[in-house]
Amino acid sequence: MLSRRGNQGFTLTELMVAMTIFGVVMAAIYSTYLSQQEAYQVTEAATGAQQNLRAAMYTLERDIRMVGFDPTGSKNFGFVSPLAPTSITFSYDASEDGISGTTEFIRFHRDTSVPGKQTLRRCVGSGGPPPTSYPSTSINDIAEDIASVNFQYLGSNGLATVTPSEVRTVVVTLSASRDNHTRQLSTRIQCRNMGL
């Protein structure tokens, strides 16, 4: 004869305890998931800001290193006065003909004309030289979410200068901000074609 003890099942109390334990475990898992999701979003915002800065700095370094490039020795190329702390304007002989054409003037600045959008822009001049304007067709957005841009101009003695022909090094400091996370990047760029 079969025993009825093996067919009793679970009591209501056992089911309630099991459901409570299951609920506590699920709440802990969900809480861990939420904190991991938040950490991921913070890391993604910080990484995005850092990548933005690196891309912007790469473009700035590449162009600023070329300031004053003048293979014919015409002395028509270099930094454009006045030297500004929040923008930089310069020229180099991209066509290698010794004549400073309008499209050989480059300007970097932070554009804040669109509310909520702060963009580092690279502009190529027209009219002049030096350029009298930068048409919209010659403006390229380099990086977004740029909170600040600072240029410091140093002479051969390592001291700050306001004379364009004396500049040998430019210290560039960029800050990017995304989702309340700010990152800053600074570098010294040697102007290898200046003073030759």
- How is the chain split into domains, by residue range? 50-100+145-190
The whole-number pLDDT of residue 1 equals 47
pLDDT of res. 129? 65
**pLDDT at position 167, please?**
95
- Return the pLDDT at 132: 67
| Tokens matching residue 54 | 């690196």
Mean pLDDT by 10 residues, the chain (196 residues): 62 90 93 89 81 91 92 87 91 82 84 82 76 75 90 94 94 89 91 84
Kindly write down the DSSP assignment for every residue of 128-164, as one continuous string.
TTTTSB--GGGEEEEEE-EEEEEEEEE-TTSSB---G
Radius of gyration of the chain (CA): 30
